[in-house]
Amino acid sequence: MAVVAPLTVKDYKSSVKPTWCPGCGDFGVLAATYKALAQMQLSLHETVFVSGIGCSSRFPYFMSTYGLHGLHGRSLPLAQGVKLAHPELTVFAVGGDGDMFSIGAGHLPHACARNVDITTICMDNSIYGLTKGQTSPTSLRGQKTKSTPYGAILEPMNPVMLALTYGASFVARAYSAKPQQLTQIIVEAVKHKGFAFVEVLSPCVEFNNTFNQLDAVVDIMDENHDPTDIERAMHLALTEAKTNLGIFYKVERPSYEQEFATLAPEKSEFNLDTFLNKYE
């Protein structure tokens, strides 16, 4: 029997070269994702990346896995549809803070509540990079951009707090400049059987270079944080003297697919075709 060589980082790279600006934090996210997939030996033909619109939503083009570049803000419903239609696949939803927390914000609460087994990676640069530097939902109050020349007067959204509040069963934050931790967080998110949300701080060097502001970061796992403690997780998300990184919350509960199987006991696993045929 022929010995199959293990997959390497190179195997997950497509022939399309990343088109991000030099120094963009998304390069770090992409590199960490390659490493995570290679570490887990995920099959190329059983892995899917789904995205919306934006700089970070170019992600699927740079992967040799399957990919779907969808509509603006629609990565989450598309990714859930892929997973429910083909539960055997490993599905990622990727996008930026504008894509997921502006036009796509209405999808996150339901994705968290359903607990469909997908991994969501939000690359947060607190700016609209693709459209050349407008205020985004996570831009800081007072931030001057092309759309807020006198400074933003809205409070910024807190992605980690929102995911916790909406009921996500896995919530984490990482930083593109800390690739080892980011790689391991992606691995843990994929292993988690349920909806996993990972905010990745990914500075935009052209329109909102926050690398210097992120020098002071804290690994909450070094602080003996218990990721099953939802109250402590919310406390950490709300009271950050420094930027907290790590797994804020992780709890095991039945995924949407597992719950559905209990409603159709004649089936050992969810099958969309069988379900639709039954009720035609």
| Domain membership of residue 244 as a residue range | 12-255
User: Rounded CA gap, 171 and 162, in Å?
Assistant: 10
pLDDT at 48: 98
Q: Of 126, 113, 200, which is closest to residue 163 (Cα–Cα)?
A: 113
Q: What CATH number has the domain bearing residue 111?
A: 3.40.50.970
pLDDT at 1: 58
- Of residues 33 and 280, more confidence is placed in 33
pLDDT at 157: 93
Asked if the structure places residue 264 within a domain, the reply is no
pLDDT at 37: 98
Asked if the structure places residue 271 within a domain, the reply is no
Asked if the structure places residue 61 within a domain, the reply is yes
pLDDT at 142: 87
- Of residues 208 and 237, more confidence is placed in 237
Average pLDDT over residues 168-188: 96
Asked if the structure places residue 6 within a domain, the reply is no
Average pLDDT over residues 191-196: 98
Asked if the structure places residue 250 within a domain, the reply is yes
Total domains present in the chain: 1
Across all residues in the chain, what is the average pLDDT? Answer: 91
Burial class (CB in 10 A: 0-12, 13-18, 19+), 160: buried
Query: How does pLDDT run across 28-72, given as a tens digit for each residue?
Result: 999 999 999 999 999 999 999 999 999 999 999 999 999 999 999
pLDDT at 67: 96
Asked if the structure places residue 2 within a domain, the reply is no
Query: How does pLDDT run across 41-52, given as a tens digit for each residue?
Result: 999 999 999 999
pLDDT at 280: 62
pLDDT at 17: 95
Asked if the structure places residue 166 within a domain, the reply is yes
Asked if the structure places residue 277 within a domain, the reply is no
- In this model, does residue 119 exceed pLDDT 80? yes
Average pLDDT over residues 191-216: 88
Query: How does pLDDT run across 251-279, given as a tens digit for each residue?
Result: 999 999 988 878 766 555 556 666 667 66
- In this model, does residue 143 exceed pLDDT 60? yes
pLDDT at 26: 96
Average pLDDT over residues 222-230: 89
